[in-house]
Structure 1
Amino acid sequence: MTAITHTSGTNKLLKQIFPVDGMTCASCAVSVESMLRNTPGVAKADVNFAASSVTVEYDNHKTNPDLLKKTVQSIGYDILITEKASEEQAEQQELKYEQLKKRTIWAGIFTFPVFVIGMFFMHWQPGNWIMMVLTGIVLFVFGKQFFINAYKQAKIGAANMDTLVALSSGVAYIFSAINTLFPHLLHRIGQHTPVYYESAAVVVTFILVGRLLEERSKSKTSSAIKKLMGLQAKTVTIDDNGTEREISIDDVHPDQIIIVKPGEKIPVDGTLISGSSFINESTITGESLPVAKTIDDKVFAGTINQQGSFKFKAEKVGKETLLGQIIRHVEETMGSKAPVQKLVDKISGIFVPIVMLIAITSFAAWMFFGQKDPWYHAITALVAVLAIACPCALGLATPTALMVGVGKGAENGILVKDAESLEIARKVNAIVLDKTGTITRGMPEVTDFIWLKKDAEQYASFVLSLEQRSEHPLGKSIVEYLKAKDVSSIDPDDIENISGKGLKGLFNDKTVLAGNKALLDQFSIAITAEVLNQAQQLQQQAKTVSYIAVDKEVVALVAIADQIKEGSKAAISELQALGVDVYMLTGDNMETAQAVAKQTGIQHVKAGLLPTDKAAFVKQLQSEGKIVAMSGDGINDSPALAQADLSIAMGKGADIAMDVAKITLISSDLRQIPKALHLSTFTVRTIRQNLFWAFIYNLVGIPLAAGLFYPIFGWQLDPMFAGAAMALSSVSVVTNSLRLQRKRI
């Protein structure tokens, strides 16, 4: 069970994912969803049939998990609400799978003689009695769950897939039993006495086989989340005042010192305090090369220590670790719904009643208008229609493809927040990239610190004090440079952060400015031609220039360079090859921006922008009819990320950027963006294929089963084949979704 508290309007809503037990088809999912949505205090409920889970947003002042559980239980299902609900569900599913496997095997053993007698010894008189007994065992022992679930649904005035199976096999069996026990009833009206034992037994057996294959396939679609959970260590070795002690992962808390030996999984997030090693982080970043780690470097839960022992201080544990957050996001995304699924849910909700109406209409039509053996054709049509109809294929079409797609993304370091964003990504035709931290490494270094006056260095402590209060990466690089020069800071009398421009501080009646040219323009500070020329020369070398001014006079220039990330140029080239227009937006000056653009092949550049300017530019592109993706890593990018159709955050960026973004690239590598677009294309294509075949299957299968083509071509589907077709329809949809796992993105 996953829980996240968030604010919606003025009310605090709790968002939780609960495993659901007892669902057998898409109609079941619609019933559970409908009941929860109508529960007081519930704002939203989305059931994922493929994952057997429901995501509920509710006001915990008006309802609670126990009440939600009772609501679901009232219609014959159940939700698990314990802290280890996911583990319990996995155990229950494994147990049910084994029980289903046994029932299916025994049903097959008892069905085989029924099939042989019904097909090859139909005129053998004792055969009907043998088939009646064996079929009764198949239906009411091994297939009893169909009838139990159908009864539970009937009690609340609902119907689902089990209703169709119970009706089709039950009607066939009862009609056959009456003809076996009282053959003279049809003889009196000149009709022969057909029996459908083999049809009833084979329908139930085939559907059990289909359920077995479906459960096995569905477990594979959620393999990604199981793999992620499997990355979590079970025990941890801690340094307890110089003594090594092994404890459970559940007992770890922040600030504990943890010891990691070669080959071990890192249990929680933290910072190295002694030792060094190479860490395989491919499990969370998708990058295969091991990463060198030394003192003060971060390590993450789920990654593997390849060589060397080290100690680190725990900082984030449990669900707060990066791995925990990835698992939570993947679970949430798998529980979300693509827009196309809403239409499918509506169809699934009315599917079973419509099928029952078609079956009854077919029976009546054959009884009234059938000229030869009307009873035979009427019963055949009734049973075949009920047996072949399958809302499960429709219900599984979208979520199974989505689960596989999201899982594949997670395995490649692409974290998708919801289904809608995965559906939108393939439509993107314009992408806006922030420069610092997105195209570049985001770790700028001071390359030149030019004091313009002999006595200007006395202001170094003022500059350090200002930049220490800056959240901008450029400010941090200046702080590191000055500290390395043994400069000490002093407390300012006053300080002001001027968004997108820089900082203003007051020190002993001296006004100090540190920032870009726009900051100096705002305070009407003149810049000499000589200083401007120096700044331009630095900017032409792809360096960002920061100006230092004291009391209306420019006293220093600071040049900062940020290296372009490995892979940025290749990613931009691939995006352009896909027909996506690439734009670079930056708050930096135009000279530096153009130098970076030239090195990476970007043709569209906007420089000197404030955060609101970036958002306005995204809006402008949207007004031109473009589907815009925005990728950034900083707080200043959050307005543009929120405005974009698809927001992509760098995993190593600011938390607020990741909160706003719909897709997060764990490795912060731009080459993951084309992969995300390919993933979207493959996933949506698979969803469409699944929906096409699910609809076609029912559009062709139901009329064929009803005998619509019999007067023209002499075609009427045998109930046995109808049952087999129904069983295979769901399996084919899930199998098609699993093909996504083999796609190379």
Structure 2
Amino acid sequence: MEPRTPPRSPAHPSTLHLTIDAMHCGACTGRVERALRDQDGVHSAAANLMARTVHVTYTAPASPHALLEALETAGYPAATLKTRYVIDGLGDAAQDNIIAQIGAIAGVIEVVQSHDTDESKGDSLSSPPNGAALTLTYAQGMTSPRELTRALNDILKDQGGLVAVAQGSQSPPPSPALRQQAEAAQLARDMAIASVLTLPVFVLAMGAHMIPAFHHWIMATMGERTSWVIQMGLTALVLIGPGRVFLRKGLPALLRGAPEMNSLVALGSLAAFGYSACVTILPDAFPIVSRGVYFEAAAMIVTLILLGRWMEARAKGQAGEAIAKLVELTPQTAQVERPSGVITLPVDDLVAGDIVHLAAGERVCLDGVIIDGDSWIDEAMLTGEPLPQRKTVGDQVTGGTLNGASAISFRVTATGAQTVLARIIAMVESAQGAKLPVQALVDRVTRVFVPTVIMLSLATFAIWLALGAQLAPALIAAISVMIIACPCAMGLATPVSILMGTGRAAQKGLLFRRGDALQRLSNVSTIAFDKTGTLTIGHPQITDCIGEPADITSALRLAAAAESRSEHPLARAIVDRARQSLTDAQGATGDAGAALPRARKVEALAGMGLRAQVEGKTVVIGNRRALEAENIAPRFIEDAERLAQAGKTPVWIAVEGEVLALLGLADPIKPEAREAVQRLQDAGITVTILSGDLQASAEAVAREIGLKDTDRNVIGGVLPEGKAAAITALKERGIVAFVGDGLNDAPALAQADIGIAIGTGTDIAIEAAEVVLMRGDPRGVADALALSKATMRNIRQNLFWAFAYNAALIPVAMGAFTPLGLHGISPMLAAGAMAFSSVFVVTNALRLRAA
């Protein structure tokens, strides 16, 4: 059986996305990353503690096989899956070429051609007479069985239409949420078993110490020695049963010279059990004052830490609910149009171009474009917007959104990892696994913390003996130091808060593309807004109509006829308003544009407006210079000046040489803009507006939304290419965030310390910035700022608790305060305190669900 892995081109870095179930804390992720980075050819390795994954980028001489070996050696094996395929009709001449192409499929680690037979199962694993049997090993989490089968058959299409038939289950691996649930369930079982076994030990040991009558009863019935033997047997079952996880992981890590939290638990529990077992079996070998057993300490250490891990796993599951809920939004099957009719197919089998029929009340399975019908779509999961959006033919629909009361049909435009929902999930998972700058300090501490604790434990033992203490109390003090100082809380302090913060943000339609954006956004001092499309609607609308009502109606109708073929934004505003007026007047339900007359001899007046013949009448639409050019006496002069001062564009409509109406056009301010700016200014943020409009127009908008110091914080007349330079100048004031629509603001978004794309949730917006607001509400900026500050505050609280806890309790466990009359901490209490610290950190992070 020869593995054949195709060579990788050094010019094109390869990537692996591996699942590693053995990671339990920040120290674990550090070891995983170091093990991979130490391999020649590895460019980067980023471990995600909450998703239990690591993303590796590498070139030769690194290879998937070498990376897997490095992880195995480090004690953190990657999770892989295997699928076997039979390809009938594949000749020997084509096998090498096919195997090379298969090995290049994303996620495939190894391709093995089988030549043997498994008699025990009665299944022939040998190659078919005229074909090949291949076993593919692939990275769990990087691809799925269905995607693998599809890619494999795409390759075989060029080999005469060969087909690969998968043998065995084609079910995808469990999702991170399901793995988390399974882990919590296993911990619950282990904790329950440990509790049942530990309870008699605790009663026999502590009951005899605390209740003299109970001690006398034991001595009079079973005797002390028999009591010890019973405790030893039950404790041994605890250690080799529920506690084996600590021994299986902790002792090999200790032997590798890389001790971790499991090593501390294993050493502490084995030391207490070993000493007690020796006293039980060979009591005469110990002085009378040292003939004490501590089986309850060894058993309680395991039980309490399992309790803490179970509570921690449950809390992590709650923290990851945001991603789990997003994943659950996509239906598993869909009604798909085929030549034979509409059939039900798994969503994984759909491809771009398929026609899907969606019933009322169903969820959209994939991204697409509506080709028939119209309905109201609830996009709250995508944008956080509670109100459904009207969708009709030609509109985009997004997988995971909820259809309303009407049936529609749509053409699939994106599948798999290319859908908006999949990209959002990947984005949030990436942010949740990111390491903030503050985490660097934690990583440095936890890297040396466990070896330091072991040295402190040994020093405690030696010092107690040197001061004349008996063996038993010296050992107990050393064990207490070892147990109480587990760095679990330190390792969890930052990632669990990031997990909760970014998950909560996703629920509110706020996407942090990188976790470090959380920290940097919390430190901004200036937030600059692009005006058009960000603080305003983004296209002009008629805000004022001045003149007699009958004249206004007639003028709009004629002007709209003249402007109906123009694509100018102002022309669009006039046509839309005229059609709306006609619809209202006629009570029509259809397209009122049919009521517009036809315009002839349409002539653009450069820089001034438009002239046309409509129903035999000369119609002039434009500014004051247009009226002067046509020798038309202007009207409403004072009104026009008032409109201009308010930042609006005055447009006159004249018919047959007489002005009938004056229109005020402006890009309306979003209703939420004033509240957004007010909240940011109340938070101490300097808000600035960048606009391509004239300074006076930009300042008018600033005054309307309540911006402070408009003369200093409004920069008008800035072209798109000049916004980046404006951001550079603003950086002299401090850390700057820029908020744009993600379309023509890319240079400014890149130049800012934090780029925030606001609005549509389209491809461009998703890729444009570090923070994406999936709806056009500028209040999302204030929400993102508040959430980033709350997350960083939560992280600081967690780090303070974790460091202060160890700094305070390690000296107590060592017995430093014994001369003052204060007792040390027993191993049992140390285990409880250590478990409580981790649970406290995770529970504190859960408070972000209400942020």
Which TM-score band applies after superposition, normalised by the shorter structure?
A: 0.7 to 0.9
Asked if the contact 1:428–1:629 (Cα under 8 Å) also holds between the matched residues in 2, the reply is yes
5 Å-filtered alignment, 1:557-572, equals 561-572=666-677
Q: Say which of 524, 528, 532 aligns to 1:432.
A: 528
Q: Which residue of 2 aligns with 1:597?
A: 702
Q: Which residue of 1 aligns with 2:437?
A: 339
CA change 1:643–1:292 in 2 (3 A) is same
More moved, 402-411 vs 424-433: 424-433
Q: Higher RCO, 1 or 2 (CA under 8 Å, sep at least 6)?
A: 1
3-state SS, counterpart of residue 45 of structure 2? strand
3-state SS, counterpart of residue 404 of structure 2? strand
3-state SS, counterpart of residue 127 of structure 1? helix
CA change 1:88–1:306 in 2 (3 A) is closer
- Report how far residue 138 of structure 1 moved: 1.0
Asked if the contact 1:259–1:312 (Cα under 8 Å) also holds between the matched residues in 2, the reply is yes
For residue 186 of structure 1, what is the amino acid of its counterpart?
Answer: F
Structure 2 distance, partners of 1:427, 1:441, is 29
- Report how far residue 460 of structure 1 moved: 9.8
CA change 1:59–1:445 in 2 (3 A) is farther
3-state SS, counterpart of residue 287 of structure 1? coil
- 2:328 counterpart of 1:230: yes
5 Å-filtered alignment, 1:475-624, equals 540=645, 542-543=647-648, 561-602=666-707, 603=710, 604-624=713-733
- 2:404 counterpart of 1:317: no
Structure 2 distance, partners of 1:242, 1:605, is 63
Q: Which residue of 2 aligns with 1:551?
A: none
- 2:733 counterpart of 1:628: no
Asked if the contact 2:529–2:738 (Cα under 8 Å) also holds between the matched residues in 1, the reply is yes
Structure 2 distance, partners of 1:592, 1:77, is 61
For residue 363 of structure 2, what is the amino acid of its counterpart?
Answer: K
CA change 1:594–1:192 in 2 (3 A) is closer
- Report how far residue 658 of structure 1 moved: 3.9
Asked if the contact 2:49–2:433 (Cα under 8 Å) also holds between the matched residues in 1, the reply is no
3-state SS, counterpart of residue 236 of structure 2? helix
Structure 1 distance, partners of 2:771, 2:307, is 38
Q: Which residue of 1 aligns with 2:84?
A: none
Asked if the contact 1:414–1:672 (Cα under 8 Å) also holds between the matched residues in 2, the reply is yes
3-state SS, counterpart of residue 51 of structure 1? coil
- Report how far residue 655 of structure 1 moved: 4.5
- Report how far residue 105 of structure 1 moved: 1.1
CA change 1:600–1:199 in 2 (3 A) is same
Structure 1 distance, partners of 2:397, 2:645, is 38
5 Å-filtered alignment, 1:297-308, equals 297-308=395-406
CA change 1:226–1:322 in 2 (3 A) is same
For residue 727 of structure 1, what is the amino acid of its counterpart?
Answer: A
Name stretches of at least 5 consecutive residues in structure 2 with no aligned partner: 1-9, 80-138, 145-171, 210-218, 545-559, 578-592, 610-624, 652-662
Q: Which residue of 1 aligns with 2:165?
A: none
CA change 1:303–1:65 in 2 (3 A) is farther
- 2:244 counterpart of 1:129: no
Q: Say which of 252, 257, 272 aligns to 1:152.
A: 252
- Report how far residue 684 of structure 1 moved: 0.6
Deviations 1:537-589 (A, max 9, x none): 8755645699xxxxxxxxxxx99643322311221222222222222111123
3-state SS, counterpart of residue 78 of structure 1? coil
Q: Which residue of 2 aligns with 1:413?
A: 509
Structure 2 distance, partners of 1:653, 1:414, is 10
CA change 1:296–1:120 in 2 (3 A) is same
Deviations 1:368-395 (A, max 9, x none): 113xx42122111111111111211000
More moved, 160-169 vs 306-315: 306-315
Asked if the contact 1:11–1:59 (Cα under 8 Å) also holds between the matched residues in 2, the reply is no
Structure 2 distance, partners of 1:30, 1:141, is 29
Q: Which residue of 1 aligns with 2:74?
A: 75
Asked if the contact 2:251–2:266 (Cα under 8 Å) also holds between the matched residues in 1, the reply is no
CA change 1:119–1:366 in 2 (3 A) is same
Q: Which residue of 1 aligns with 2:49?
A: 49
3-state SS, counterpart of residue 74 of structure 1? helix
Q: Which residue of 1 aligns with 2:425?
A: 327
Asked if the contact 1:650–1:658 (Cα under 8 Å) also holds between the matched residues in 2, the reply is no
- Report how far residue 65 of structure 1 moved: 4.4
Q: Which residue of 2 aligns with 1:140?
A: 240
Q: Which residue of 1 aligns with 2:385?
A: 287
More moved, 597-606 vs 217-226: 597-606
Q: Say which of 450, 454, 464 aligns to 1:356.
A: 454
- 2:369 counterpart of 1:277: no
5 Å-filtered alignment, 1:160-171, equals 160-171=260-271
3-state SS, counterpart of residue 266 of structure 1? coil
Asked if the contact 1:404–1:738 (Cα under 8 Å) also holds between the matched residues in 2, the reply is yes
Deviations 1:182-225 (A, max 9, x none): 122222xx643111111111111111111111111112111111
- Report how far residue 529 of structure 1 moved: 11
Structure 1 distance, partners of 2:307, 2:521, is 37
- 2:736 counterpart of 1:737: no
5 Å-filtered alignment, 1:366-445, equals 366-370=464-468, 373-444=469-540
Asked if the contact 1:51–1:222 (Cα under 8 Å) also holds between the matched residues in 2, the reply is no
Asked if the contact 1:633–1:653 (Cα under 8 Å) also holds between the matched residues in 2, the reply is no
More moved, 653-662 vs 615-624: 653-662
Q: Which residue of 1 aligns with 2:117?
A: none
Deviations 1:598-621 (A, max 9, x none): 332233322211223222222212
CA RMSD after TM alignment: 3.7
More moved, 122-131 vs 326-335: 122-131
Q: Which residue of 1 aligns with 2:752?
A: 644
More moved, 286-295 vs 200-209: 286-295
Structure 1 distance, partners of 2:797, 2:477, is 29
- Report how far residue 98 of structure 1 moved: 2.8
Q: Say which of 706, 712, 715 aligns to 2:823.
A: 715
- Report how far residue 406 of structure 1 moved: 0.2
Structure 2 distance, partners of 1:131, 1:300, is 61
Asked if the contact 2:51–2:433 (Cα under 8 Å) also holds between the matched residues in 1, the reply is yes
Q: Say which of 170, 175, 191 aligns to 1:104.
A: 191
Structure 1 distance, partners of 2:12, 2:517, is 25
Deviations 1:236-273 (A, max 9, x none): 11233583222111122222222111110011222222
For residue 719 of structure 1, what is the amino acid of its counterpart?
Answer: P
Structure 1 distance, partners of 2:358, 2:404, is 10
- Report how far residue 329 of structure 1 moved: 0.7
Structure 1 distance, partners of 2:575, 2:767, is 28
Q: Say which of 147, 160, 184 aligns to 2:284.
A: 184
CA change 1:291–1:91 in 2 (3 A) is closer
CA change 1:514–1:703 in 2 (3 A) is farther
More moved, 104-113 vs 75-84: 75-84
TM-score normalised according to structure 1 size: 0.83
Asked if the contact 2:250–2:259 (Cα under 8 Å) also holds between the matched residues in 1, the reply is yes
CA change 1:478–1:256 in 2 (3 A) is farther
Asked if the contact 1:75–1:152 (Cα under 8 Å) also holds between the matched residues in 2, the reply is no
For residue 605 of structure 1, what is the amino acid of its counterpart?
Answer: V
Structure 2 distance, partners of 1:441, 1:242, is 47
For residue 168 of structure 1, what is the amino acid of its counterpart?
Answer: G
3-state SS, counterpart of residue 438 of structure 1? helix
CA change 1:513–1:321 in 2 (3 A) is farther
Structure 1 distance, partners of 2:39, 2:665, is 58
Larger Rg, first or second structure (1 or 2) = 2
For residue 648 of structure 1, what is the amino acid of its counterpart?
Answer: I
Deviations 1:611-647 (A, max 9, x none): 23222222212113x2221100144311111121221
- Report how far residue 592 of structure 1 moved: 3.3
Structure 2 distance, partners of 1:514, 1:638, is 32
Asked if the contact 1:147–1:162 (Cα under 8 Å) also holds between the matched residues in 2, the reply is yes
For residue 730 of structure 1, what is the amino acid of its counterpart?
Answer: S
Q: Which residue of 1 aligns with 2:794?
A: 686
Structure 2 distance, partners of 1:697, 1:376, is 26
- Report how far residue 685 of structure 1 moved: 0.8
Asked if the contact 1:17–1:332 (Cα under 8 Å) also holds between the matched residues in 2, the reply is no
Structure 1 distance, partners of 2:827, 2:608, is 82
- Report how far residue 285 of structure 1 moved: 0.8
Asked if the contact 2:458–2:478 (Cα under 8 Å) also holds between the matched residues in 1, the reply is yes
